[in-house]
Amino acid sequence: MATYRTFTTLGDFGPWVSKLILDLPCEVRADEVSPATFNVFCTRRETADGSVVMRTEKGADHATPSQGYAEVLAAYPCTEEGAPLPESAHVALEMGEVRVNKRIEGSVMQSRFLVNDYRVTQLAELPGKDAPVSGLVFDECAGDVCPALDGWHEDVQAKAVDDIRLGYGYYEPSFSPFTMSWNEKPQPAPEKAALIVWLHGAGEGGNETGRAYQGNRVTALSQRQIQRYFGGSAWVLVPQCPTFWMDNGKDQLGHVNESIYVRPLKALIDEFVAAHADQVDTSRIIIGGLSNGGFMTVRMCLDYPDFFAAGIPVCAPFFVENQTPENVARIARTPLWFVHSKGDELVDPRETSLPLYARLREAGAEVHMTYFDHVEDLTGVYHEPDGRPLRTFNHGVWVHIYNDFCRTDLDGRSVIVNGEPVGAWEWAATKRREA
């Protein structure tokens, strides 16, 4: 039985299988394989019971099996991890970011991991060492390769608080010398590093910890683009709540802006800091989150106003009726950078972040807000059929915080630190909580 490995890419729209790495019985050269050498069929299955995922596609009136052929875009000899080689007994098949290759199914309210079950059939003969090789069928997965997960781990809160124990993912920085640019000498790594606490949205709650930091590319916080602002070393802690951060014990998605997870979350942060006390800079704990997690970011700054160095609430549903003078005064003690989009379909900024931003400014707080007119791809990767940047739903503004595109205040002007314009992450990296 021939085997393959999947190569997972964590993109703006979730994880997807971008390559299959085939284990061949012979070595091949680059000119001996092409996209026409193999075809790929994928069936997406439920993790729980292996059943075929049924999905109602846009415009359809009934559900159909989520399966089909995945186009092979490129084929080449490679290492076991998928890097190109002139000759090898492994071959990589590159594929597109299409539905059958997606590793998560669901919506902004609830999602789940799936099993991508591939069957790769050899179509063209390969010249073997002693005789031609043909008829290979690769239908057993031998594992996954995902470079974006390097340094990431999972654990569970050791001690329950209010009968709640939170699972969490976390990134452990390397603490190695870091160079900002090619022409600079490496800077020594700090003895203690900042901690970024990132809170997922409604769709990533539950009991699959990996979804909390893979579902919306939270792993961008462990990549060089953002890590460099923190001197190359920043811890990232991503807790997962079983339901929704907005769950107050009676209503899971109400407007009261209270949460049963406040005390358990704070206890988890304290537990994590204590476990890494010699390597976490407690004056540089940054909290942020998207949507449901954006609410929880504001809530934690309200309940622990002297703990966090800064907060980044993204499309946060902290409603105007709860923006009392007392609450605003407590929230104002933490520097905040809001991110939202006009026309947000789920969280109206006119009822949430816009009035809170205004009230915090009136209270003399250090507060900024990047406000997008709409949400479209700014990376140059995704396009509409006519070539324009892909327009997505306006609630999904978190793609811009992960890509480090939040760089202006509400008035459209740059935020200036030490005489230079900065974005949200570079700004957050400069913040320190006084002892």
- What is the chain's pLDDT, residue by residue, as a tens digit (435 residues)? 799 999 999 999 999 999 999 999 999 999 999 999 999 999 999 999 999 999 988 777 888 999 999 999 999 999 999 999 999 999 999 999 999 999 999 888 889 999 999 999 999 999 877 788 899 999 999 999 999 999 999 999 999 999 999 999 999 998 888 776 666 677 777 889 999 999 999 999 999 999 999 988 999 999 999 999 999 999 999 999 999 999 999 999 999 999 999 999 999 999 999 999 999 999 999 999 999 999 999 999 999 999 999 999 999 999 999 999 999 999 999 999 999 999 999 999 999 999 999 999 999 999 999 999 999 999 999 999 999 999 999 999 999 999 999 999 999 999 999 999 999 999 999 999 986
The whole-number pLDDT of residue 183 equals: 65
Residue pointed to by tokens 């358990």: 264
Instruction: For residue 404, give the nearest of 426, 419, 421, 383 by alpha carbon.
Output: 426
Which tokens in the block code for residue 267?
């206890």
- pTM of the entire structure? 0.95
Question: Which residues, other chains included, contact 25 with Cβ-Cβ below 8 Å and sequence gap of 6+?
Answer: 2, 89, 128, 133, 136
The whole-number pLDDT of residue 435 equals: 63
SS3 98: coil
Count the residues in the chain. 435
Which tokens in the block code for residue 122?
């050899």
Neighbouring-strand partners of residue 20: 6, 93
| Measured distance CA(155)–CA(379) in Å, rounded | 33
The whole-number pLDDT of residue 61 equals: 83
Pairing between β-strand 14-29 and β-strand 87-95 as defined by DSSP bridges? antiparallel
| Measured distance CA(301)–CA(431) in Å, rounded | 15
Question: Which residues, other chains included, contact 394 with Cβ-Cβ below 8 Å and sequence gap of 6+?
Answer: 341, 342, 343, 344, 345, 372, 374, 375
Which tokens in the block code for residue 85?
């080689």
| Measured distance CA(33)–CA(77) in Å, rounded | 8
8 A C-beta contact, residue 212 and residue 260: no
Count other C-beta atoms under 10 Å from residue 336's C-beta.
Answer: 27
8 A C-beta contact, residue 370 and residue 341: no
State the angle between helix axes of 262-275 and 292-303 in degrees (0 to 180), rounded to the nearest 10: 80
| Measured distance CA(303)–CA(297) in Å, rounded | 10
Helices (H), 342-423: 353-362, 398-402
Cα torsion 123, 129, 131, 136: sign: negative
